[in-house]
Structure 1
């Protein structure tokens, strides 16, 4: 029924179920006990709701005696996401206001990396998956400890740009496991309507695996050519008289030997995704993820001061040599919890309530190599000891979805209210130095404390908003969406003025189905972001700047070919306010940068035996105005004009169970700073892999090998924030999995 199309889609989304260190693991088990108690509390609430629903059913039977007994209004059938692969191309999108929509109807660039792609590549970290997404590059670091990322040249905010299940913001200052994720999505560009304040680079959404119709029990053994060794488990079950309960548990523990000599540590996680179809109207979900890591961070390399407007970069150092002491690791942990309830009032109206909390703790040693001689490599290593870091997000969202008609038009509306609290406590930074050589590193056994202690004062941020958007079906092919959000952004921090910012953000789009499998769209959206805080060297040190508004226009076309292959082409134009220190040494919003480009992607099964995902973006980014005239016309730092990727898998027909794959990933040259005083070269990385699956005594057994940086290319992996990152060397990764 046309009038119920979007509501049905929403309900389908709401009910979708997608598929040793003893003390540390005791802490994890304690977390699990606490969270099981919370789940029990939810069960009690649900029991009350179940009883209330039974009364409602009885009343409905009296009001409608012709209806069959016990047949009150039901939710749409549940779509089960099982353990079987879903292919390389997505059918739907699960991020923001587009949750549950057919990919052809989304008036924005949303790139989806599916479970099938991550399995074929053997992805273990976030950038492993996102290297398939055009325009995603590393920022500042090489990714050894965590993935600092940019999208289309704009840095993501590690505190507000990363989400779990599209609802809970999580902190990205830690390794993100991929073994327990069903998919990873990147909503590019401005996203203020649904997410409020955040970088206009976009949103990265990680969707948890859930129990499907088929039980899952698998154990994997992991290893690599550096000497890493570990194990992982994946268990999923549905149970109850009508399979109304579901649980999926993932866990991994790995001793890590990095491609850098003498740099070792560990990473581990445990996660659980629980769901309960309480009755035909109410569904509950609970997600838990706990991560622990320990690794020594390699030093970033600070570019030297410019001479006559030019910076001379050092020669490429050996990526296998550790520049820092191997007994000064960064230790981090993160725990994220999300509770969600979906309730259908009738065939046309439903509601969703979510509550979540994410806490990341980190004791960090951050390193920078600086003040060096380009010819000899002799210089100074500076270490910053930052213990007691914590990043906490608490989030609550209430949303109502429904549809109705006005004359010939069908309206599908979503309205909601959301509030997020971010807290970061006091911590101090202590600085140490030691002599080091970039080209011939020595073992560092002593550090000299230098400089004064720098204090970070506790910061409180409240990001809240009320939003409404309406999809109007003008005809069966033509849709118009109008939306508006009222946002409030409040900050407080000792030593700086409090800030209370209010802003109204509109958005709009139009989508037209040229054919049932081809659509075109045009959209206008806005982003809201805090322009950050003034540096300690500025006259207005530590002052939090007012809100900055970014505006984006985009047009695009998508088509779905045979084999569910999805092809997308988009042209975009985004204008972002920029901040900097002016001639009076005042840090302020003093200009605008423009990001304009064209993006193309294709993903799916192009033949029965060949699957691929490919993308490329050409980006024309420049500073269009500034209080510093020397910056006008320059390219923003760490922004390549071209990025491209191609990954393909071939299932060998003559030998069932065997597949081979290969990948090519290109990132163009990038400027090291906004003044364009030097640039790092572009690079092309190659990957190769093979998988073989068979049955042994009736059990499925698979073995897999993936070779990363197959040509052992030496390259600068990242620039930005006055640091350069050195890419990691070749690694052969091995996995063997037994499924019961």
Structure 2
């Protein structure tokens, strides 16, 4: 099947985009009569900058540089998109151990469909991140996010919001979550951290870095072993991480980076609640959908034996060779593999008066997911008349395969919403039938140019040629071969003040039907998404970055329809503002604040009852604030406090009900001292200080609760 499903009208809006690459070639080749060889070899012309994350701001709540996508190595101040960089200082101050712990600091990023105990299933601006393509390691490898991705071996997390097709191919316009690994350091590191919480979690983390062979080889190892207890009834588990990062610099301007991770997590999955179902007559009579009262955050309608048990391995090799002062080549290859046993509990068919209902447990035996990724890129810096260029052109290929067993092995257990019942274990069936394997092949060629005129104007222009195919037994073959353009500009009014504007087009996969859908695991055809954004970025004082952006995204609408079928029907627009203030106000006070106002609505759909409705799980307002005060009266003592707010969200496409907005508060403290020549840091944090009960996520007719109040503590010894 071709791309006719996208609608010819969508593609008609593009004016001769199939000739975009040719136009760019004319632009680069014809603007100045300068001999090519002289430009390539000129040592006194524009130079390619080498930015090392380890050389970015230290001990700061902000960062100078971005590492995600085509804007990698660009200053945040000069990046014409909304990018949230959560540096190591925030991760440590909050004792964050998984992705949601970190990205909750970015306004508009919420949980979707399921709770936070197993994996970080995320949305941004009301748009889902895709578990197999939206989460990147070191700006490149798409890691399979069906298990919590740990942060102990990560230097930072970046959320690049919006359409990111030019560099990453077929991804949703929610954006990209990029995780940058810790690299070997010049000086040795010997860190040991012991950590736990008030519910019974106990664990340890070792971090070691060394250099060898006249400092040409660096190795950094991170290892974590931990039990898991969230303070939720009938939930326990364990996790581990073994990670190694290797840097090899055999000769000048030639760099090799190798990364390997083994991740394991086994934890009881907290039962989620399915929405009640209204009949057609009730809907016609405007009978309201009544949601169950928010359960206690420590209750569980599942059982301890309902485990998700997953193992994941990620490997990435990266080679950079700067063969001229202003030209380099980059080669990358990587693989992400995950296998998972899952016992997925859903509480449904209940009576709100008595609480009596059924927990449906679906068994998935050894589901397998594999991503293989390649990239080759040339990058160069040169001048054409009045413009300085930093151009990159290359190709990527990402092959994603999944083998998910048929989920017809299920059991129904009597359960009660108000008086949970414990059940004896039901053994996972040994049968494993895979009738609908999937293979996605996402290839692309791209060219992207950052142009600079004087010190006050920067322009970006680029295009990607995508060649995509998706093959499944159930839905056949979908394919696409189209161009995705990008254009934008940054105007520097002052060295510390920039205005920007960007327009981007992209293609995204149509989404995968959730397990509760009648067409579970079906992949929908690809679709077009567009985005424009304008904004202001300022650094009025050193190390404090302020941003304000106005964005608009138009994309295909995907949702569960009234027949419980996951469909692609119509368009949805997302328009809003985002604000952030990150960094240091003075020597004692650091802040990380974000806010989002969003107007999202469905339009142009065959179901006229949905037009103008808000997409499910999409808040109108979200905000976060986290601050640290380094006390002048006790050397080494810092105090922290945080607030995280998410507005009310529609539970389904028909907006039949809304889960209430919620707000949680955190407090904490850190004390660093010297004990017999070793630096020792003690940390203590309380999350959800007021022990609020709330629905953390909805979507696909599901409701999931948040976590109870948790006191975290840790001690780090640096020898």
Decide: shared fold, TM above 0.5: yes
Partner of 1:31: none
Contact persistence 2:98–2:149 (CA under 8 A):
yes
User: Equivalent residue of 1:428, what SS?
Assistant: coil
2:289 paired with 1:311? yes
How far did residue 262 of structure 1 move? 2.9
Partner of 1:395: 373
Question: Following superposition of structure 1 onto structure 2, how do residues 396-415 of structure 1 map, counting pairs within 5 Å?
Answer: 396-415=374-393
User: Equivalent residue of 1:127, what SS?
Assistant: helix
Question: Following superposition of structure 1 onto structure 2, how do residues 317-336 of structure 1 map, counting pairs within 5 Å?
Answer: 317-336=295-314
How far did residue 480 of structure 1 move? 1.4
Contact persistence 1:83–1:214 (CA under 8 A):
no
How far did residue 91 of structure 1 move? 0.4
Question: 1:514 and 1:383, CA in 2 relative to 1: closer, same or farther beyond 3 A?
Answer: same
Partner of 2:315: 337
Question: 1:474 and 1:88, CA in 2 relative to 1: closer, same or farther beyond 3 A?
Answer: same
Which of the numbers 250, 253, 259 marks the counterpart of 1:278? 250
Question: 1:119 and 1:442, CA in 2 relative to 1: closer, same or farther beyond 3 A?
Answer: same
Partner of 2:121: 148
Partner of 2:350: 372
User: Equivalent residue of 1:713, what SS?
Assistant: coil
Partner of 1:115: 88
Partner of 1:105: 78
Question: Following superposition of structure 1 onto structure 2, how do residues 179-328 of structure 1 map, counting pairs within 5 Å?
Answer: 179-241=152-214, 243-306=215-278, 307-308=282-283, 309=286, 310-328=288-306
Partner of 1:495: 474
Contact persistence 2:234–2:268 (CA under 8 A):
no
| Matches of 1:298 and 1:587, distance apart in 2 | 24
Which of the numbers 689, 714, 733 marks the counterpart of 2:668? 689
Which of the numbers 630, 633, 651 marks the counterpart of 2:609? 630
Contact persistence 1:433–1:448 (CA under 8 A):
no
Partner of 1:15: none
**Gap regions ≥5 residues in structure 2:** 1-40
Contact persistence 2:559–2:700 (CA under 8 A):
no
Contact persistence 1:528–1:547 (CA under 8 A):
yes
How far did residue 445 of structure 1 move? 1.6
Question: 1:193 and 1:669, CA in 2 relative to 1: closer, same or farther beyond 3 A?
Answer: same
Which of the numbers 138, 143, 167 marks the counterpart of 1:170? 143
Partner of 1:665: 644
Partner of 2:17: none
| Matches of 1:166 and 1:400, distance apart in 2 | 16
Q: Which moved more, 1:208-217 or 1:565-574?
A: 208-217
User: Equivalent residue of 1:440, what SS?
Assistant: coil
Contact persistence 1:367–1:381 (CA under 8 A):
yes
| Matches of 2:661 and 2:113, distance apart in 1 | 15
User: Equivalent residue of 1:97, what SS?
Assistant: helix
How far did residue 82 of structure 1 move? 6.7
TM-score by length of 2: 0.89
Partner of 1:90: 63
How far did residue 84 of structure 1 move? 8.8
Partner of 1:70: none
Question: 1:302 and 1:455, CA in 2 relative to 1: closer, same or farther beyond 3 A?
Answer: farther
How far did residue 549 of structure 1 move? 0.6
User: Equivalent residue of 1:469, what SS?
Assistant: strand
How far did residue 624 of structure 1 move? 2.0
Partner of 2:717: 738
Question: Following superposition of structure 1 onto structure 2, how do residues 697-736 of structure 1 map, counting pairs within 5 Å?
Answer: 697-736=676-715
Which of the numbers 585, 609, 619 marks the counterpart of 1:640? 619
| Matches of 2:120 and 2:528, distance apart in 1 | 26
Which of the numbers 499, 508, 518 marks the counterpart of 1:529? 508
How far did residue 456 of structure 1 move? 4.9
Question: 1:584 and 1:213, CA in 2 relative to 1: closer, same or farther beyond 3 A?
Answer: closer
Query: How many residues align structurally?
Result: 668
How far did residue 671 of structure 1 move? 0.5
Question: 1:707 and 1:586, CA in 2 relative to 1: closer, same or farther beyond 3 A?
Answer: closer
Question: Following superposition of structure 1 onto structure 2, how do residues 292-691 of structure 1 map, counting pairs within 5 Å?
Answer: 292-306=264-278, 307-308=282-283, 309=286, 310-429=288-407, 430-445=409-424, 456-532=435-511, 544-579=523-558, 589-691=568-670
| Matches of 1:80 and 1:612, distance apart in 2 | 21
| Matches of 2:405 and 2:306, distance apart in 1 | 18
Q: Deviations over 1:414-445 (max 9, x none)?
A: 10100001011251321111000111101112
Partner of 1:29: none
Q: Deviations over 1:443-462 (max 9, x none)?
A: 11265999x99855211110
How far did residue 687 of structure 1 move? 0.4
Question: 1:580 and 1:297, CA in 2 relative to 1: closer, same or farther beyond 3 A?
Answer: closer
How far did residue 407 of structure 1 move? 1.6
| Matches of 1:472 and 1:706, distance apart in 2 | 45
Q: Which moved more, 1:697-706 or 1:536-545?
A: 536-545
Partner of 1:131: 104
User: Equivalent residue of 2:476, what SS?
Assistant: coil
| Matches of 2:518 and 2:660, distance apart in 1 | 36
| Matches of 2:108 and 2:516, distance apart in 1 | 33
How far did residue 330 of structure 1 move? 1.2
User: Equivalent residue of 1:235, what SS?
Assistant: strand
Contact persistence 1:707–1:730 (CA under 8 A):
yes
| Matches of 2:510 and 2:49, distance apart in 1 | 44
| Matches of 1:316 and 1:120, distance apart in 2 | 30
Q: Deviations over 1:488-517 (max 9, x none)?
A: 111112233222211111110011111111
| Matches of 1:584 and 1:438, distance apart in 2 | 26
Question: 1:91 and 1:539, CA in 2 relative to 1: closer, same or farther beyond 3 A?
Answer: closer
| Matches of 2:256 and 2:337, distance apart in 1 | 23
User: Equivalent residue of 1:393, what SS?
Assistant: strand
Contact persistence 1:563–1:607 (CA under 8 A):
no
**Gap regions ≥5 residues in structure 1:** 1-63, 68-72
User: Equivalent residue of 2:668, what SS?
Assistant: strand
Please tell me the root mean square deviation across aligned C-alpha atoms, in Å: 2.5
| Matches of 2:519 and 2:671, distance apart in 1 | 61
Q: Deviations over 1:515-558 (max 9, x none)?
A: 11111100001221121367999999987543211100100110
How far did residue 587 of structure 1 move? 6.8
